[in-house]
Copies of this chain bind each other. A is one copy, B any other.
Amino acid sequence: MTYRAPVRDQLFVLREVLGLDAYSNLPGFADAPMELVEQILTEGAKFCEEVLAPLNSVGDKQGCVWSADNTVTTPKGFKEAYKAMVDAGWPALGSEPEFGGQGLPRVIGLAYSEMSSAANMAFSMYPGLTHGAYSAILEGGSPEQKALYLPKLASAEWGGTMNLTEPQCGTDLGLLRTKAVPQGDGSYKISGQKIWISGGEHDMADNIVHLVLARIEGAPAGVRGISLFIVPKFLPTADGGVGPRNEGVKCVGLEEKMGIHGNATCFMSYEEATGWLIGEENSGLKLMFVMMNEARLGVGLQGLSQGEAAYQAAVTFAKDRLQGRSLTGPKNPDGPADPIIVHPDIRRMLMESKATLEGGRAFLLWAGLQGDLIHLAPDEASRQKASDYMGLMTPVLKAYFTDKGLKIASDAMQVHGGSGFTEHFPASQYLRDVRISLIYEGTNGIQALDLVGRKLAANGGRAVMTFFADVDAFVGEHEEDKAVAPFIEGLKSVRAQLQDGTTWLMQNGLANPDNAGAASMDYLNLFALTGLAYMWAKIALAANAAITAGSSDAFYANKLTTGRYFLERILPDAGAHLAKLKTGAGSLMALDAEAF
């Protein structure tokens, strides 16, 4: 079996867990009743399953090929699939109608992204980063820039890239050297070397719009002197067509990587390339973070989606492969052996994956809904709350679900046994592909630092206090509901642990910032588990409501069982994370560097 998009589960989350119908008075949502959402996701699933998924292994095996004329050839079939995607309008689902987008809620676009990323992660990065470029220009571009670039980026007829990293400068953008020299006509000459540029050059789009961080001559040192520029591969004509080649922009090579071979990871050289400033001088970092934050949520989704695809492959293998007998007597007595799904330790890996994926899907779509409410909620308080949530949860979702995506992919390989280590089965590619998601758009360690160093403290801790208040209200509302009692108990208990960890951080992080850094990753995990417990309680309520209403669909009873697995076998990690984070920086920072 190849990948099957989990449309049923997505619709359950959107309709029954998040109650999307309740938002039908909001713009965007008004035009997307659940019947239409179901149609869109069903069609999207078809495209991902039938067009993108079959190219996943092709992309891995062929990879992208760089030629000495600085062009890049994508794997066989990618170009046709890209054109089909543009023609079908998939990249434009959530973009603004004034720029040719369909104006649907972002949460619907996110659901589609899960499927496309699961079907073919390397391919889906091309439109994914293009949408990031779209968002940055939408946020900071001039009306002329918007008119010129946004329609092409919304449709993905033109590709988009993010150019941050330089050889000496990754996480620490203050070290950035690429320079921009004003030409007096509103344009700049951009010169510098950029590395790890995903989709920096390829043969699928009519043009590629590079968003490049650079330092204008004379700008302050460090991060305060960084500006953002549009540097297109071909200079656009005034009517939005493709003009002459921007000669100074070149892809001078490709990175050889462990995975995502179908995505061109480029060394880019800018030699007096023509570019235009977006927004104000020296405000480039702020705009880049518009792309970055969107990308971070997308990367969390990549973790989940690769996990889902790998899990599906493992399930198929576990049902087919006959080895050994069930510990409680043969389950396939007429066959030579039982399918390995009868073995408890195989089950453990599958259930662990399933519980993480289904809870994670709800968590990510919940966050996607916050992304809509930031813009669409009718009152300022609701918009602010959504924005606080988005800020708070983005690092949590990025780090936790990429980390778990790797674990699930590794467990999927383990279910495959020796077959999984060979390249004849898909497990190896999922593991190799997903591994980058823990690193790019800010390593998971950077996410943890963002959480404890910035997001927690922002606005006097408003976001985390809002979260606690929402959880408490939810618990209060459902505490008497016996049918979901273990879920409310579990949530209360982990919420208390998160409170404990938060208090510890506030008391000890200021006294010694290394305490905050030392606690950051365990705190992030504790936060994610609390969020998951919240989501599983919501899922249990929705499932229980359906059962109470008379549904005999096993889907709902299975949700309660899977949720019970989460409570019994995933949530206990919270206590270990709390115990570790409270030990502080002591033993962690004590050794001299020479002792390693």
Give per-residue flags for A582-596: 1 if the beta carbon is below 8 A from chain B beta carbons, else 0: 010111111111011
Chain B residues within 8 Å of A323, by CB: 169-172, 175
Q: Contact check, A520 vs B344: say whether CB atoms are below 8 A apart.
A: yes
Q: Could you tell me if B588 and A351 are in contact, using CB atoms closer than 8 angstroms?
A: yes
Oligomeric state, in number of copies? 2
Contact indicator A596/B431 (Cβ below 8 Å): no
Task: Kindly provide the distance from the CB of A420 to the nearest chain B CB, expressed in whole angstroms.
Answer: 7
- Interface size, chain A (Cβ < 8 Å): 95
**B587 near A337 (CB under 8 angstroms)?**
no
Answer whether residue A327 sits at the interface, using C-beta atoms and an 8 A cutoff: yes
Q: Is A400 an interface residue (CB 8 A)?
A: no
Q: Which of A336, A517, A580 has the most CB of B within 10 A?
A: A517
How far does the alpha carbon of A174 sit from the alpha carbon of B336 in the complex, in Å? 9
Hey, which chain B residues are within 8 Å of A448, CB to CB? Answer: 345
* A444 engages B172 (CB within 8 Å): no
Q: For the complex, give the distance between the alpha carbons of A569 and B520 in Å.
A: 13
CB of A263 to closest CB in B, whole Å: 12
Known: A420-B439, A428-B258. A327 touches B516 (CB 8 A): yes
For A204, list chain B residues within 8 Å (CB): none
Name the distance in Å between A405's Cβ and chain B's nearest Cβ. Answer: 12
Q: Are A595 and B554 in contact (CB under 8 A)?
A: yes
Residue contact B406 to A410, C-beta cutoff 8 Å: yes
- When the two chains form their complex, are residues A327 and B517 in contact, meaning their CB atoms are under 8 A apart? yes
Q: How far is the CA of A323 from the CA of B431 in the complex (A)?
A: 28
A289 — which chain B residues lie within 8 A by C-beta? Answer: none
Q: Verify B258–A421 contact, CB threshold 8 A.
A: yes
Interface with B: A51-59, A70-78, A180-188, A556-564, which one?
A: A556-564
Closest to A352 in B: B588
Tell whether, in the assembled complex, residue A572 and residue B568 are in contact, meaning their CB atoms are under 8 Å apart: no
Interface residue? A79 (CB, 8 A): no
Interface residues of A: mostly helix, strand, loop or mixed?
helix
Contact, CB under 8 Å: B347 / A589: yes
- The answer to whether A517 touches B593, judged by C-beta atoms less than 8 angstroms apart, is no
A354 contact set on B, CB distance < 8 A: 596
Which residues of A403-458 are within 8 A (CB) of B?
406, 410, 413-414, 417-418, 420-424, 428, 431-432, 435-436, 438-440, 443-445, 448-449
Q: How far is the CA of A327 from the CA of B517 in the complex (A)?
A: 8
- In the assembled complex, A240 has its CB within 8 A of some CB on chain B: no
Complex Cα distance, B326 from A512, in Å, reads 12
Does A328 interact with chain B (Cβ within 8 Å)? yes
Q: Which residue of B lies closest to A440 (CB)?
A: B418
The 8 A CB mask of A248-260 against B (1 = contact, 0 = none) is: 0000000111110
Binary per-residue interface labels of chain A (171-202) against chain B in the complex, 1 for a CB within 8 Å, 0 otherwise = 11011000000000000000000011000000
From B256, B349, B436, B576, contact of A575 by CB (8 A) = B576
Residues of B with C-beta under 8 A to A172: 322-324, 337
Per the bound structure, the CA–CA distance linking A432 and B433 in Å amounts to 12
| B344–A517 CB distance below 8 A | yes
Q: Which among A448, A569, A585 has the highest number of chain B CB atoms within 10 Å?
A: A569
The answer to the question of A319 belonging to the interface, with a C-beta cut-off of 8 Å to chain B, is yes
Task: List the B side residues contacting A259 at CB < 8 Å.
Answer: 421
A256 closest partner in B (C-beta): B423
Known: A328-B514, A422-B256, A580-B572. A565 touches B587 (CB 8 A): yes
Bound Cα distance from A514 to B328, whole angstroms: 7
CA distance A564 to B588 in the complex (A): 9
A513 with B573: in contact, given A343-B445, A443-B417, A561-B587 (CB under 8 Å)? no
Given contacts A424-B256, A591-B562, contact A513 B328 (CB under 8 A): yes
B588 close to A344 (CB less than 8 A): yes
Q: How far is the CA of A395 from the CA of B518 in the complex (A)?
A: 33
Are B344 and A589 within 8 A (Cβ)? yes
Complex CA distance for A418 and B257, rounded to whole angstroms? 10
CB atoms of A568 and B596 under 8 A apart = no
Which of A175, A418, A436, A586: most chain B Cβ within 10 A? A418
Q: Which residue of B lies closest to A346 (CB)?
A: B445
Q: Is A350 an interface residue (CB 8 A)?
A: yes
Q: A421-B259, A438-B414 are in contact. Are A569 and B595 (CB under 8 A)?
A: no
Do B585 and A344 have beta carbons less than 8 Å apart?
yes
Nearest residue in B to A524 (C-beta to C-beta)?
A: B345
Closest to A558 in B: B595
CB contacts (< 8 Å) of A115 on chain B: these are none
Q: Tell me, yes or no, whether A341 is within 8 Å of chain B by CB.
A: yes
Q: Which residues of B contact A346 (CB under 8 A)?
A: 445
- In this complex, the member of A174, A339, A421, A423 whose beta carbon has the largest number of chain B beta carbons within 10 angstroms is A421
Determine if A266 is an interface residue (Cβ-Cβ < 8 Å).
Answer: no
A561 nearest CB neighbor, chain B only: B590
Q: Is A165 an interface residue (CB 8 A)?
A: yes
> Could you tell me if A327 and B514 are in contact, using CB atoms closer than 8 angstroms?
yes
26 A-B pairs (CB sep. < 8 Å)? A165-B418, A168-B322, A168-B336, A170-B418, A175-B337, A195-B418, A256-B422, A258-B428, A259-B421, A319-B596, A343-B517, A344-B517, A344-B585, A344-B588, A344-B589, A347-B518, A350-B596, A351-B587, A413-B439, A421-B435, A421-B439, A565-B588, A569-B580, A572-B575, A572-B576, A572-B579
